[in-house]
Amino acid sequence: MNKFYITTSLPYINSKPHIGHALELVQADVIARWRRMQGEEVFFLTGTDEHGSKVAKIAQETGDSPQAVADRNSALFAELKDVLNLSNDGFIRTSDQDNHWPGAQQLWRLLGEAGDIYRSTYHGLYCIGCEAFVTEKDLVNGVCPIHRAAPEAVEEENYFFRLSKYGPEIARLIESGELTITPRGRATEMLNVIKAGLEDISFSRPAKKLPWGIPVPDDPTQTMYVWCDALANYITGIGYGRDERSFTKWWPADLHVIGKDILRFHAAIWPGMLLSAGLPLPKQIFVHGFISAGGHKMSKSLGNVIDPTEIVERYGTDALRYYLLREIPSVDDGNFSWQRFTEIYDSELANNLGNLLSRVLQMTHQYFGGRVPPGSAGDELKFDQHLVEFQSQLAAFDFAKAALALDAWISRLNTLIDQRQPWVLAKSQIKEDQTLLANTIYDLLEELRLAALLIYPLMPKTANLIYEHLGLDPISKGALNFKQAIHWGGLRAESKVKHPPILFPKSASQ
């Protein structure tokens, strides 16, 4: 059985989860579910980044310990598994002293043994908002373009990592495709950065300035900076430093799913660390864009931060998943609009998919007593075309095209009902009309079953409901033999179907 290891980046826990976090998690979940359906053994990892001065500051302001703040805020992100119906197999926390710290410290030691960690004085700029050292090249008119604030000048004794040593090899790996970055434009962007020259990076901070973090091995006066802490999650989350068998099984990662703001960390710093440690590099990095709200970047001050839980409570998990996949460009920035959300919800989910299932099940009960009629051989070639297109769209991470293709398929089935007019055929005494009626209802039921297979990675609850109402066992992790299920004729004549559910209740806008 082929294995597939997929990760998301770790969200920082200084604020609550927002819809941008949901986008990345749902994108990764679609890929993980689809790979499982192909019969692959999948490990899907996410988690939380919990160290740093921002968390320490929150603890100071609230009178809690940093660990208490981390526990409370990390739980909000862990709860997204239920909110978004995620299928992640692991959830790694950087404050976990049993599962994360040993591997992070082991990685540090390997870099030191390679001669790539040295002590020096750092003179430069530090952005408090980013919790990162920055250069003049990172600034716009002297301020951080993300936080609109000037960084502070810093001079401190730190450990450094010899990243400059690995620039040529990282560039070669990207150019050869051994480290694939998608979309290609992001690879070009990184190659330009790398070929301009990578500088050694500050790898620690004084413990008196940053006490909340992982101590540097053999030097408690220094705390690991984010590079060897948060980035190490991709290997500690599968056992590095504590379970060598598990780590060897899953590493290297097949896919890192990240946002465009942390591309440099994952396509330069992380590969450099792995090369230094003598560990294999991930195979591919997929880079998505940002979500704005109402045309503006989400921020607390503007009051436009979108809480995914609020959407799910009003419309359900699958409605949010579908909107994110269908409306937000996979690799470019997108915008969340309540008006657009309700338009898509009503037209494509309630009126198209929900209406189709209701019509077909209702006619099955009305004309055949709720039992599947005998059907024709069907057009398996047509489904094969849907399947090939869907596979290619997911391989290219083009979730929007995949969603739109499914919507077009459902529209075609609704049109087929209007063209065949089963209500007219049912009144006819002609044998050929009765045969056409049976074939029509069977075709609709069977195409709904096949469509549900492709709907499943995007909207798992909806796909399972369709299967359940067709009298079939749910499509669950690993339980479905996909290679058998994709063939025409999965529904047996005379099997019972259920009465139609309301898949997507009409929104208040209608």
Q: Choosing from 51, 100, 144, 228, which is the catalytic residue? A: 144
Handedness of CA 10, 11, 17, 21 (dihedral sign): negative
pLDDT for 133 beyond 90: no
Instruction: Kindly state the tokens that stand for 154.
Output: 């810093």
Q: Is 57 a catalytic residue?
A: no
- Per residue in 418-455, pLDDT (tens digit) is 999 999 999 999 999 999 999 999 999 999 999 999 99
The 3-state DSSP class for residue 239 equals coil
Q: Choosing from 16, 81, 130, 461, which is the catalytic residue? A: 130
pLDDT for 41 beyond 70: yes
Q: In the chain, what are the domain boundaries? A: 350-496
Q: Choosing from 123, 137, 300, 431, which is the catalytic residue? A: 300
pLDDT at 300: 62
Burial of 244 (0-12, 13-18, 19+ CB in 10 A): exposed
Q: Is 18 a catalytic residue?
A: yes
Q: Is 260 a catalytic residue?
A: no
Q: Choosing from 195, 208, 209, 297, which is the catalytic residue? A: 297
Helix 317-327 × helix 431-458 angle, to 10° = 80
> Would residue 47 be called left, alpha or beta, if left means φ above 0 and alpha means ψ between -120 and 50 degrees?
left
- Per residue in 266-286, pLDDT (tens digit) is 999 999 999 999 999 999 999
CB-CB contact of 42 with 188 (8 Å):
no
* Strand extents, DSSP E, 236-331: 255-259, 284-288, 291-293, 296-297
pLDDT for 510 beyond 70: no
pLDDT at 378: 66
> Would residue 479 be called left, alpha or beta, if left means φ above 0 and alpha means ψ between -120 and 50 degrees?
alpha
Q: Is 300 a catalytic residue?
A: yes
* Strand extents, DSSP E, 162-217: 180-182, 201-202, 204-206, 215-216
Length, in residues, of the chain: 510
pLDDT at 486: 87
CATH of 350-496, one of 2.160.10.10, 1.10.730.10, 1.10.10.10, 3.10.520.10: 1.10.730.10
Q: Choosing from 21, 51, 386, 469, which is the catalytic residue? A: 21
Q: Give me the mean pLDDT over the 178-197 stretch.
A: 97
Count CA within 13 A, CB hemisphere, residue 508: 3
In the numeric block, the tokens 């301009």 are attached to: 196
* Summary mean pLDDT of the chain: 93
Q: Is 228 a catalytic residue?
A: no
Of the candidates 409, 391, 363, which has an alpha carbon nearest to the alpha carbon of residue 482? 391
- Per residue in 105-129, pLDDT (tens digit) is 999 999 999 999 999 998 888 887 7
Which helix (H) or strand (E) segment holds residue 454: the answer is helix 431-458
pLDDT at 302: 66
- Mind spelling out the 3-state secondary structure of 352-394? HHHHHHHHHHHHHHHHHCCECCCCCCCCHHHHHHHHHHHHHHH
Q: Is 144 a catalytic residue?
A: yes
Q: Is 147 a catalytic residue?
A: yes
Q: Is 130 a catalytic residue?
A: yes
Q: Choosing from 127, 256, 288, 386, which is the catalytic residue? A: 127
pLDDT for 480 beyond 70: no
pLDDT at 251: 99
pLDDT at 479: 54
Q: Choosing from 3, 147, 296, 427, which is the catalytic residue? A: 147
